[in-house]
Amino acid sequence: MDASVEAAVADAHRREWAFVLAATVRVTGDIDLAEECVQEAYARALTTWPDQGVPARPGAWLTTVARRRAIDLLRRNATHERVLPQLVGTGDDAPDVPGAPGSIDDDRLRLIFTCCHPALAPESQVALTLRLVCGLTTSEVARLFLVQEATMAARITRAKKKIAAARIPYRVPAADELPARIDAVLTVVHLVFTTGHTAPAGSDLVRTDLVERALHLSRMLRSLLPEDPDVAGVLALILLTDARRPSRTSADGTLTLLPDQDRSQWDADEIAEGLALVREALGRRPPGRFALMAAIAAVHAEAPTWSSTDWAELVGLYDLLVRIWPSPVVSLNRAVAIGFADGPAEGLAALDALAAEPQLATYGYLASARADFLRRLGRHDEAAAAYRRALALTDNAVEAEFLAARLAESEREARPAS
Amino acid sequence: MAEYLVLIYEDESAMEQADPSAWQTMMDGHMAFGEKHGASMRGGNALQPAGTATSIRGDGAGGFTITDGAFAETKEALGGYYLLEAADLDEAIALAKEIPAAFGGVEVRPVRPLG
């Protein structure tokens, strides 16, 4: 097999999967059948392209092959009188022509909105999006979320069954519903990103594959919904956060936090693109939560050093964010910003006001943020206790190693027990 | 088109303790819903409180166990239902949002066509 053909098929898989599947679903009216046909089209590409060359428009080629296969199978099914339940919204008026401007883009959006329908459980929305929009196999999705393949397969099957049985429509929502539904989609994309940015468990800090899927999804959304400020906000947030990736772990794999990161390693292109998008996202008043989160990331991206960070600006942004998106985690980040703007005692007081939040009871960052302020206040005994607590709450090996080092440092500083 | 059974679950004790005007508001809400969406309405009714329920379970050998009470004891009890016709889940959810359920909420279940 010619390596360049294999690479072309892999590239077409990454870039065009959603395009090809979305267009094929319109023909089949059934997600499973469409997936089968699209998989066959990619398999056909592997055997055909070495002889005939890689087509100029691989997506159109794959769509044609997948649709032809679907029509074949549907004809055969019709003779066997096995009629599939039609996905709602696929048999309607708009028969699209492959390559017609607008119609195909529309199909990809239909697919995304169906996968991220609020009637599906959040973990199913994420799984379906990675499986159907990104084209990952069930075992790949299972590995990304560290669950058994059988568990993930059952989750995906259950979600697909619900789409068919409850008639979740294959449609771009009406204008009045659109903002809420876009928010649901962006929540899924953001969750994919945060899961990859700091993996909840495992030996690596970052799951690069998840980060790249999130970036790919948000770029796709940006091209499909270029006017939407929240879409711009999510893409900006992901770019500005991901720009720090090279400096987050040192050469020996240990965690480096924001204050100690080598900012010259930050990805300047991602930052430039992200900053332009933030300005666009903030253009709408009042700004949405992703625009504000991106603006917070932008404050860090623009500071040449940790000590020159504009903490007052950050506290102001967190104040706005807490108002439109009240969550204990946002309040926690706000408290940390206060600690740097006004001093560790003020930060500690703001953190302790959150101690009773049940959602934060098992959230390691509360304990590690307290530990950090206690350490800066010279209260090393208490800092050590907080580091111990944070350590007990993380399953990520890189984070654990970092916290263990800080704990040892605090224990050394603490007065010996009398 | 498809049919959806919308089950109304509400907190019975909160309803009993509520002000009579809240009761009136609820009844007015149901009347208004029925008038506005008569075309989608395939049926619907209110139920007597869960305390009046009787559960019957076959033992698989021809016998039955009859017990006092609903199948599942929950804080919010099934108190009424609508059978609605809608094109898809989005339309059914839009209708369900208009059903008054100040003391709880509603569950939308697609009807499985048989035969």
Give the span between the Cα atoms of A344 and A369, in whole angstroms. 10
A305 within some domain: no
What digits encode the pLDDT tens for the residues A144-178? 777 899 999 999 999 999 999 999 999 888 888 88
Half-sphere exposure of A26 toward its Cβ, with a 13 Å CA cutoff? 24
**Å between B74 CA and nearest CA of chain A:** 22
Classify residue B71 by its DSSP letter: S
Check residue A87 and give its pLDDT. 80
Cα–Cα distance list, A98 to A49, A57, A226 (Å): 20, 11, 22
Residue A156: helix, strand or coil by DSSP?
helix
pLDDT at B28 over 70: yes
Contact B88 A168 (CB under 8 A): yes
B69 within some domain: no
Number of domains in chain A: 2
A75 within some domain: yes
A114 within some domain: no
Bridge partners, residue B82, by sequence:
B6, B44
Check residue A344 and give its pLDDT. 94
B66 within some domain: no
Residue A35: helix, strand or coil by DSSP?
helix
Range of the domain at A407: 362-418
Can you list the alpha helix ranges (DSSP code H) found in A54-134? 58-79, 103-115, 122-128
B63 within some domain: no
Number of domains in chain B: 1
Contact residues, A window 132-191, toward B, CB-based 8 Å cutoff: 165-169, 171, 173, 177
- Return the H-helix or E-strand segment holding B7: strand B2-11
Q: Which residues of A touch B88 (CB under 8 A)?
A: 88-89, 167-169, 171
Residue spans of chain A under pLDDT 70: 1, 78-85, 91-105, 415-418
Range of the domain at B93: 2-48+75-110
Q: Which residues of A touch B89 (CB under 8 A)?
A: 117, 119, 166-169
Contact residues, B window 18-77, toward A, CB-based 8 Å cutoff: none
Neighbours of A363 (CB within 10 A): 17
> Hey, which bits of A239-307 come out as E strands?
none
A415 within some domain: yes
Domain end, chosen from A56, A74, A100, is at A100
Q: CA A299, A305, A309 angle in degrees (round to 5)? A: 40
A179 within some domain: no
- CATH (domain of B91): 3.30.70.1060
Domain end, chosen from A55, A72, A100, is at A100
What digits encode the pLDDT tens for the residues A36-81? 999 999 999 999 999 999 999 999 999 999 999 999 988 887 665 5
A81 within some domain: yes
Contact A88 B112 (CB under 8 A): no
pTM for this prediction: 0.83
Contact B90 A166 (CB under 8 A): no
Mean pLDDT across chain B, nearest whole number?
Answer: 93
B19 within some domain: yes
Domain end, chosen from A70, A100, A130, is at A100
Check residue A95 and give its pLDDT. 43
Q: Which residues of A touch B107 (CB under 8 A)?
A: none
Mean predicted confidence (pLDDT) in B23-29: 93
A266 within some domain: no
Check if the beta carbon of residue A22 is closer than 8 Å to that of residue A104. yes
A344 within some domain: no
B30 within some domain: yes
Give the span between the Cα atoms of B27 and B35, in whole angstroms. 12
| Beta-strand relationship, B64-68 and B54-58 | antiparallel
B104 within some domain: yes
